[in-house]
Amino acid sequence: MHIFSKKQPDLNWENPEVRQSLYDTVNWWLDKGIDGFRIDAITHIKKKPGFPDLPNPLKKDVVPSFDAHMNQPGIDKHLTELAEETFNNYDIMTVGEANGVEVEDAEQWVGEENGYFDMIFQFEHINLWGDKATFDLTEFKKVLTKWQKGLEGVGWNALFLENHDLVRAVSSMGNDTDMRKTSAKALATMYFFMQGTPFIYQGQEIGMTNVHFDSLDEYDDIQSVNKAKTMIKEGSKQEEAMEYIWESSRDNSRTPMQWNSTEQAGFTTGTPWLKVNDNYADINVAESYEDPNSVYNFYKKMIDIRRRSETLIYGTYELIEEKHPSVYAYLRHGEQEDFLIMVNMFDGREKMDFSKYNLKELVLANYEVNDRLNNSILLRPYEARMYKISK
């Protein structure tokens, strides 16, 4: 059985010998002293008994099969045994990629006492921002807040915007041309100070963007390439298929890391599996080191601010301006201090009144700010600020 690729066979988790062999392998690595695992596609290990045919009313060559193998009843037995035989016996960190898991199931998956893992990557929010034209910020806030409050006192959130299966956030949610650095910093501020552990995907910290290769042959992502070929077979024009690839291909986040402005972006002296993004001469690690206003140096500031504050790690989260269509604003409450995080997620200007929060100190901003703690704030395009507020 090959759910994701013909080159990727599935293990039969119903076979106890297979499971034991897997546990032996996991423990071999843990005995070596590694600090943990990211467990890929873990919700797909249980298959619907009998492998029934799936509905195909349109008689297509390929149909989605998730209903037969995603988070199926009985998966809890496999995951409980996995944890008991491996993870629970070591001082490590685990994060499971858990498509299909609902917040109502969170305690079972990441509960402090008996959860299978320490954290999970949930997929609800990432399905909302693939297309800037239809991006609904109020729904996006609703989903992220649901997970923030759903795990409060129960388990721990994994905070992320990018991974190897997604397009670049600055190209999808931000402005990757004349406001690339500004909007990348805004998106970073938006998620980085929520309750949970922030993850930074390679290239995100320098503001890497989507890539526009000229030919379908230059792409490698089996999911988007097959989809584009199906579109053409079913009557779409080549240009429409390429537009889909440019906007949706997972190869957008899989191009080689851009280290410097030399050939192949300093990634290799050979030929990489994918072409390097053409903008590597302008967007690379070496340039980011030298620029004090780079996205990279902004991430360093955020990490420093976060690690200095118990509130920004363990404090509770409160969404404010819930219905505002352009601004994501929330509070972090702690015993000693409170913080207000505000982010304009779009390219317009938004006047906000935060007078009831008694702003005390500007902690972080992606623009030069000279408002002298004026509680009436005009947020510029993709502007992000964090204030310490008086309790």
b (16+ CB within 10 A) / e for 260-278 = beeebbbbeeeeeeebbbe
Catalytic annotation, pick one of 97, 205, 221, 337: 97
| CA gap 146, 103 in Å, rounded | 7
Strand segments (E) across 259-337: 316-320, 327-333
What is the rounded CA–CA span in Å between residue 305 and residue 188?
A: 13
Helices 222-233 and 238-248: crossing angle in degrees, nearest 10, is 160
Concerning whether 162 is annotated as a catalytic residue, the answer is no
Q: Return the bridge partners of 320, or none.
A: 329
Residue 40 annotated to the active site:
yes
Report DSSP letters for 322-385, one per residue.
TT-SSEEEEEEE-SS-EEEEEEE-SSS-EEEE-GGG-EEEEEEESS---STT-SEEEEPTT-EE
Asked whether the beta carbons of 343 and 369 are under 8 A apart, the reply is no
Q: How many residues does the chain have?
A: 391
Q: What is the DSSP letter of 257?
A: P
3-state secondary structure of 120: strand
- Read off φ and ψ for residue 12, nearest 5 degrees: -90, 95
From edge to edge, which strands make up the β-sheet containing 338-344?
316-320, 327-333, 338-344, 384-389, 359-365
Give which of 160, 151, 158, 149 is closest to 112, Cα–Cα. 151
CA–CA gap between residue 332 and residue 327 (Å, rounded): 16
Q: Which of 40, 291, 335, 353 is catalytic?
A: 40
φ/ψ (deg, to 5) at 244:
-60, -45
* DSSP annotation string for 8-59: BPPP-TT-HHHHHHHHHHHHHHHHHT--EEEETTGGGSS--TT-PPPP-TT-
**Which sequence positions are flagged as catalytic?**
40, 97
